[in-house]
Structure 1
Amino acid sequence: MSNEHEAAWANPAPAGLTALAIACFTFFAVLTGIVPHTSTPLLGCWLIGGFAVQIVVALIELREGSLLGGNVFLFFSAFFMLTGGLEFLLRASSVFADYGVTSEIDGWAWLVLLITLILWTPAYLKTSPRVMGILVLILDIGVLFVALRDLGIVAASISAPLAGYALGLGGIFAIYFAAAIQLNAAFGKVVFPVGKPIL
């Protein structure tokens, strides 16, 4: 058996985008009040599942040389998915009440994620299809309002629904882009248009 030709990995982005869409839809449901906050322990489980998917996607994309996509999936998997999921589970446990744990630190972490995402957005607008560029811009808005809420700058009654609706819309774009990647590849033609980069 010859090892002269190393097989390329298939594109894992549709799986990562589907995990992102699940996170976006479930955050939409919680932040807009469609589901009660008592459901957040289950949200934690879904986010940990998303972590498993996105860490694999990140490693494959980095292995394939995707600097931007690989790094974004890597930090999304760690902080949005794993940390978020564990935190929702922790908040539901007696540890929060029994030990007086507070969550003021979250706003500062979200601020770093917001700044990073905003600073990396032009790279998406320059190199990614239009649909992905729009998705990232929508995520910027959602993360902005989560950060402002958790920093205590904007009241949750205002920031939570704004973040929720932005994330819900982002989830729709993630589902569309994942489907476009799959169907356009399967049919060898444009089934779902994704557009040229914005910049």
Structure 2
Amino acid sequence: MSEHEGWATPGPAGLVALAMACFGFYAVLSGTVTKDAAPILGIWLIGGFVVQIVVALVELKGGHTTGGNVFLFFSAFFMLVGGLENVFKYYASIYGWKIDATLDGWLWLPLLISLILWTFAYLKESSAIMSLVVVLLDVAVFFITFMDMGKLGHQYAPIAAYFLLVAGVGALWVAAAGIVNTAFGKAVLPLPGPFLK
């Protein structure tokens, strides 16, 4: 039986789901796996959607505007749409369906702009490591957006891949610190304070 009143934050689970997506996209963008892995990535992203939608709702209920809203749009677009689209694009390529995937970049553009503008809230409210994760995601999403739009060549994919990989590792650190530090009731795994006071 829990000693806590109300619900504990599921934020660490959401960060693990984010890390899973970052590692998966790293593998695809870096060429570590072939494009034939797209349906598997898609299914895992849909699983991440389930985790992140729960996190978003609980965080919003707890009054956490920044994290709740970011998890909400990440759950919908990064996870659910990304997952379904990976599966769809894979089968479209097999069956020769003609699709104009450059629309992806245009649809990612408002997400990129929002993420960049909301980064300032992370710099003020979150640990330095979480803020760094968001900045790394800003850079990765920038390259993915403009590659999908056709404005940047896919030779930039490794840059996005490595930024995602490092962001994923940072998300795992923040998630672990949230779980371990709560269990011990003290800072076992350090989380430096916000960049902005």
Give the TM-score taking structure 2 as reference length: 0.94
Residue 165 (structure 2) pairs with residue 165 (structure 1)? no
Question: Any residues of structure 2 matched to 1:126-137 within 5 Å, and which?
Answer: 126-137=124-135
User: Deviation digits for residues 154-196 of structure 1, max 9, x if unmatched?
Assistant: 1101x21110000000000000000000011111111111111
Instruction: Give me the whole-angstrom Cα distance separating, in 2, the residues matched to 1:107 and 1:179.
Output: 33
| Equivalent residue, structure 2, for 1:102 | 100
What is the distance in 1 between the residues matched to 2:104 and 2:92?
Answer: 19
The Cα offsets for residues 111-168 of structure 1, whole Å up to 9 and x where unpaired, read as 11110000000000001111111110111011011011111111101x2111000000
Note the 1:1-199 alignment, pairs <5 A: 7-94=5-92, 97-157=95-155, 159-199=156-196
Cα distance, 1:102 vs structure 2: 2.0
- Against the structure 1 CA distance between its residues 8 and 32, is the aligned structure 2 distance closer, same or farther, given a 3 Å change threshold? same
**Residue 165 to residue 150, structure 1, CA distance change in 2 (3 Å):** same
> Which consecutive residues of structure 2, in runs of 5 or more, have no partner in the other structure?
none
Which amino acid in 1 is paired with 2:125? T
CA shift for structure 1 position 100: 1.5
Tell me the SS of whatever aligns to 1:197.
Answer: coil
Identity percentage over the alignment? Answer: 52
Unaligned runs of 5+ in 1: 1-5
- Give aligned pairs, total: 193
CA distance in 2, matches of 1:94, 1:82: 18
C-alpha displacement of 1:95: 7.8
2:165 alignment partner AA: G
* Separation in structure 1 between the aligned mates of residue 195 and residue 176 of structure 2, nearest angstrom: 20
C-alpha distance in structure 1 between counterparts of 2:128 and 2:93, whole Å: 44
TM-score normalised according to structure 1 size: 0.94
Deviation at 1:96, TM superposition (A): 7.5
Q: Which amino acid aligns with 2:162?
A: Y
- Any conservation in 1 of the 2:92–2:98 contact (CA below 8 Å)? no
CA RMSD in angstroms, aligned pairs only? 1.4
Shift of the alpha carbon at 1:99?
3.9
